[in-house]
Structure 1
Amino acid sequence: MTFQVTVTPSGRQFSCEADETVLNAALRAGLILPYGCKNGACGSCKGKVNSGSVVHGNHQQRALPDTEEAAGMALFCCAKPQSDLTIEAREIVSDGDYPVKKLPTRIARMEKLSHDVMLVALQLPANEKLNYRAGQYIEFLLRDGKRRSYSMANAPHDAEQITLHIRHMPGGVFTDQVFSTMKERDILRFEGPQGSFFLREDSDKPIILLASGTGFAPIKALMEQLIHTGSTRPVSLYWGGRRPADLYMDALCQEWAAKLPHFRYIPVISDAQAEDNWTGRSGFVHQAVIADVADMSGYQVYACGAPVVVESAKRDFSAQCQLPADEFYADSFTSEADLAG
């Protein structure tokens, strides 16, 4: 059975099969709704069902608590229609210039950035080009049918190769391979670009970039895009880790801070040990932002990292610092543990 979905406030419409998620149907119709993990874990695709009903597949309670579902909220990445729908969601520009492709790729280079972070550079086929926005991600297509998502860590103008920052998750089917048997010249397949996390370049608002761990990868791509376009928007980058070694490209950030007059870099460590000799900012990274910027009403925020960091920032920046809800852009890095929890 096919149902009609109407998006407010735009009035755009698209069809959705009964066994299809609202998000997949929208993407198939060339209409991009905000989304991230597509697994019901990050909450990026959350919106309101104003009329009609949906049924949800597996999802995380923290992404859609029962109280919110009872109030008509839905996760469109795992919500399937039971009737015609009217939904309230923020649309994003058409992806006509950024078609999603399935491509083979050869591993061109592997470099350990820290004890548990590997840079993996991918070489595309000679006759193929991947058009993407800085901040988006690709999904590796594994032999067992599973997928693993990683953000591009370089801006598209520098995309002869695509670079990824992959953190080792011990016991992880894919990352165990990356840190043991995977080698240069291996062939993989991926699908992309994916995601609605990218730089909004039609604004002159100052920017806060917030990263935890390898959430720095898409943030790095955003910074490279800003540098490439010659942007003079003020940018403050807050990068959080447990130990100083977790900030595996600290030297690059320090270099940006020395060269770019509109850029500030604030590293934040939550669990420094005596042997680290850490003298910088301590605590939770999003709280460091709050301490520095009490009024965010005129800012844009781009946050990427662990779900708890992104969720805390979204909640507290809005409640305590007057950040407009539609100026918070995020990508949660969900692991298999997050999806199972």
Structure 2
Amino acid sequence: MSFTITVEPSGRSFETEPGERILQAGIRQGIGLPYSCQDGTCGSCKVRKLSGTVVHGPHQQKALSDAEEAEGYILTCCGVAQSDVVIESRQVTHAGAFPVRKMPARVALLEPLAADVMRLQLQLPANNDLQYHAGQYLEFVLRDGSRRSYSMASAPHRLMESGAPMLDLHLRHMPGGKFTDHVFGAMKEKEILRIEGPYGSFYLQAEAPNPIILLASGTGFAPIKAMLEHMQFMGITRETVFYWGARRPHDLYMDAWVRGKLAQMPHLSYVPVISDALPEDQWQGRSGLVHRAVLQDFPDLSAHQVYACGTPAMVDAARRDFVQQAGLPDYEFFADAFTSEADKVAG
């Protein structure tokens, strides 16, 4: 039996098939609910249930605790409706969201950006019809059917910049990782990969007037880079501060690129933050946790929008502290938590 899911305050609705997860039904019908990992790990898809019955598949307590579930919150990525359901989510996209496409992609370039970060440029088929928002991600479909997710690091307008359709990704090497061991070891240019996308609700809400905080840790910079390119291309001049956190200075692997944008985008400010500098680094800048640097500079975030991308620990801490300590409206926090396979099996 199918059930109707209604999203408030937009009033949009969609149908779920028997046993179908709410998020998957929404994606299938072009209803853009917030999400990131799709497997009960990160909590990005957590919304309040206003009415109806939902049962959950396996998920981590950090994504949805028993107390939150008792208060009426659900994870749409692993929640299955048992009746008509009404949920509350302000982050629902307009009708006609970009469709998910499957296609082959050829490795056009492998460029080390740091000892453990690779720029992977993909050439798409000439007749591809991929559309995406700056900030979204794609999935590699591996030969055994497993998947790996990576954000596009180039803005949509750059897709045809070189004449052939090209996308950039930034991949961090996870030693022992099935995919990244191959990328950093045996992968060669012209290799064919299978991709699927776009996915994710992490992209700029361009119609809003709020000043923007961009927050990244590590390769969480990739979708932020795409957003910055998009903002420049579209002439978006909202006041924007970009905080990039890393363990040591050399981990800010495109620091010079960001600094180059400052001269081109007068509304943009940049605050690099290092957590574990060594004496030989001679680091003179900000230190500590990157989200704490934001709170030091902006104790009142009630009129801002925040876009955060990086480790689940950073994203979770930023969401909690920005909302509880700085008054950021929860619906103005947009996030993409990079979950590795190790994160997914962690308790």
TM-score by length of 1: 0.97
**Residue in structure 2 matched with residue 214 of structure 1 by the alignment:** 219
Match in the other structure for 1:16? 16
**Cα RMSD between the aligned structures?**
1.2
> In structure 1, how many angstroms separate the alpha carbons of the residues matched to 2:22 and 2:29?
11
Paired AA for residue 315 in structure 1: R
- Aligned-partner Cα distance in 2 for 1:55–1:106: 41
The aligned residue for residue 257 of structure 2 is: 252
Matches within 5 A, 1:1-341: 1-94=1-94, 96=96, 98-159=98-159, 160-341=165-346
CA-to-partner distance for each residue in 1:168-200, whole Å, 9 max, x for gaps? 011111111111011110000111011000011
- Distance verdict in 2 for CA 1:140–1:222, change over 3 Å: same
- Offset at residue 298 of structure 1 (A): 1.5
TM-score normalized by structure 2?
Answer: 0.95
Given that residues 39 and 78 in structure 1 are in contact (C-alpha distance below 8 angstroms), is that contact kept between their aligned partners in structure 2?
Answer: yes
Structure 1 position 91, deviation (Å): 4.6
Q: Which runs of 5+ in 2 are unaligned?
A: 160-164
Structure 1 stretch displaced more, 248-257 or 95-104: 95-104
In structure 2, relative to structure 1, the CA distance for the partners of 1:212 and 1:204 (3 Å cut) is same
Q: What is the distance in 1 between the residues matched to 2:177 and 2:87?
A: 37
Report percent identity of matched pairs: 58
CA contact (8 A) 1:134 1:199 kept: yes
How many residue pairs get aligned? The number is: 341
Q: Offset at 1:203?
A: 1.8
Residues in 2 aligned to 1:16 and 1:340: alpha-carbon distance in whole angstroms? 28
Aligned-pair distance for 1:84?
2.3
d(CA) in 2 for partners of 1:337, 1:53: 31
CA drift at 1:94: 3.4
Structure 2 distance, partners of 1:338, 1:296, is 29
Looking at structure 2, the residues matched to 207 and 50 of structure 1 have their Cα atoms a distance apart, in angstroms, of 30
Q: Secondary structure at the match of 1:252?
A: helix
Contact 1:17–1:81 at 8 Å: present in 2 too? no
Question: How much does 1:96 deviate?
Answer: 2.4
Pair 203,91 (structure 1): closer, same or farther in 2 beyond 3 Å = closer
Q: CA deviation at 1:95?
A: 5.8
Q: 1:333 offset after TM fit, Å? A: 0.5
Shift of 1:263: 1.2
**Secondary structure class of the residue paired with 1:94:** coil
Q: In 1, distance between residues paired with 2:92 and 2:10?
A: 11
